[in-house]
Amino acid sequence: MADPNGHAVRSGRSPRQRARRRRAIQYVALAIVIGVLAFMADWPTIGHTFFDPALILNTAAHGLWRALWNTLVYSAGGFVIGLAAGTLLALMRLSEVAPYRWLATLYIEFFRGLPALIVFIALSLLPLAFQGLAMPFSPYGTVWAALGIVGSAYMAETIRAGILAVPRGQIEAARSLGLSPAQTLRQITLPQAFRLMIPPLTNELIMLIKDSSLVFIVGLSAANFDLTKFGRAAANNHVNITPLVVAGLGYLIITLPLSIVVRRMEARAASGRRA
Amino acid sequence: MNTALVELAAVSKTFSGQRVLDDIDLEVERGEVVCVIGPSGSGKSTLLRCVNRLETPDSGRVVVAGVDLTDPDCDIDAARRQIGMVFQQFNLFAHRNVLDNCALALRTVLGLKRTEAERKARDQLEWVGLADRANAYPSELSGGQQQRVAIARALAMDPALMLFDEPTSALDPELVGDVLTVMRRLADAGTTMIVVTHEMGFAREVADRVVFMDAGRIVEQGTPAQVLGHPRVERTRDFLQRVSVSG
The domains located in chain A, with CATH, are 64-267 (1.10.3720.10)
The span from the CA of A224 to the CA of A251, in Å, is: 16
**Phi and psi torsions of A22, nearest 5°:** -60, -45
Angle formed by the axes of helices A98-113 and A140-165, to 10°?
120
In chain B, the residue whose alpha carbon lies closest to the alpha carbon of A186 is B108
Q: Judge contact between A153 and A105, C-beta under 8 A.
A: no
Q: Peptide bond preceding A4: is omega within 30 degrees of 0, i.e. cis?
A: no
Contact B93 A188 (CB under 8 A): yes
**Can you give the pTM of this predicted structure?**
0.81
B77, B88, B153, B157: best to mutate for the A interface, most A CBs within 10 A: B77
The span from the CA of B46 to the CA of B36, in Å, is: 11
The torsion of the CA quartet B192, B196, B197, B203, rounded to 10 degrees, works out to 40
Extended strands (E) in B146-242: 161-165, 192-196, 209-214, 217-222
pLDDT of residue B129: 95
Give the max Cα distance, chain A: 87
The span from the CA of B11 to the CA of B220, in Å, is: 17
Q: How does pLDDT run across A167-199, given as a tens digit for each residue? A: 999 999 999 999 999 999 999 999 999 888 988
The span from the CA of A94 to the CA of A106, in Å, is: 14
Which residues of B are less than 8 Å from A170 in CB distance?
Answer: 91, 93-94
In chain B, the residue whose alpha carbon lies closest to the alpha carbon of A176 is B80
A200, A210, A98: which is closest to A156 by C-alpha? A200
Q: How does pLDDT run across B102-153, given as a tens digit for each residue? A: 999 999 999 999 999 999 999 999 999 999 999 999 999 999 999 999 999 9
Q: Judge contact between B96 and B135, C-beta under 8 A.
A: no
Contact A170 B94 (CB under 8 A): yes
The predicted complex's ipTM stands at 0.93
Q: Judge contact between B192 and B5, C-beta under 8 A.
A: yes
Q: How does pLDDT run across B65-94, given as a tens digit for each residue? A: 999 999 999 999 999 999 999 999 999 999
Within an 8 Å CB–CB cutoff, is residue B189 touching chain A?
no
Q: What is the pLDDT along chain A (275 residues), one digit of tens a residue?
A: 455 555 555 667 888 999 999 999 999 999 999 999 988 888 888 888 899 888 888 888 888 999 999 999 999 999 999 999 999 999 999 999 999 999 999 999 999 999 999 999 999 888 877 877 777 777 888 999 999 999 999 999 999 999 999 999 999 999 999 999 999 999 999 999 988 898 899 999 999 999 999 998 888 888 889 999 999 999 999 999 999 999 999 999 999 999 998 888 888 777 654 44
Q: Judge contact between B120 and B155, C-beta under 8 A.
A: no
For the cut 70, the answer to whether the pLDDT of residue B242 exceeds it is: yes
Q: Judge contact between B154 and B129, C-beta under 8 A.
A: no
Q: How many CB atoms lie within 10 A of CB A163?
A: 21
